[in-house]
Structure 1
Amino acid sequence: MASVFTMIMNGELPGNFVWEDDDCVAILSINPIQTGHTLVVPRAEIDHWLDVPPELAAHLMVVAHTVGTAQMAAFEPSRVGLIIAGLEVPHTHLHVIPMSNMNDLNFANAKASVPPEELAQAAETLRSHLPA
């Protein structure tokens, strides 16, 4: 069965994309800890990040860096955090999270529901700070 991320990439579920290339996508989290919380996801369904081939892992990090740089410009946090957790969805993904303090990286603080228009606005703001 396809992961929720594959279903989003295939258009079967909605997603707020901010980045797409041949190897990965970056989409806003539907349960963000902070505004702009983005997931960098390889197109290949790889469960554990340690199983990601090194070349793809390097590419995911470059995309996370690009997204994080755009988050700094778009949302002006103190820092941008990066987490690879991997328990909630069996498909590797990097959480790129604007943050002001360590609580901004606590998944217990994730919003259970965000209005779609709020996510769409955050995605547009972030996309406007990404390279073309």
Structure 2
Amino acid sequence: MSTPVQAPAGQQPAESAGRRAIWLSIAALAMTFMLPAAGLVMALFAIVAGIRAVPLLKAAGKPTGVTAGGIAVAAVALALSVATTGMQLYLMNENSAYQECMKSAGTVSSQGECFVQFKEAAQKKLPPDVLELIGATRP
């Protein structure tokens, strides 16, 4: 029976830690757009994995650029997910009313009325420029 060939000590865990950090950060960015709260958690995992990978890569003499990029992408995902989750929580009542209105809307014009009601309710809570910034206005 032959023994498996192993990488030199410290090389394999360092390389896999760097790859793990970048993949987690990409997943965090994707999750931010689908489920912002899950993106927040995933971004935190990605940042921790990246920070833990840097010393391993340096000790193995490997470049840390990919891991640093993963940390940067995870930081962007974290900022986006915090902002999105915060906005969802802040406008929770308005969003619930909008969802209920859309359930009972049978025509396109009644759906438009639901949007107008949501926009007016959100404008009462938000500064005037925020809705334009997030693109919640219709031409």
TM tier, smaller: under 0.3
The structure with the largest strand share of the pair is 1
Rg larger in 1 or in 2? 2
TM-score by length of 1: 0.27
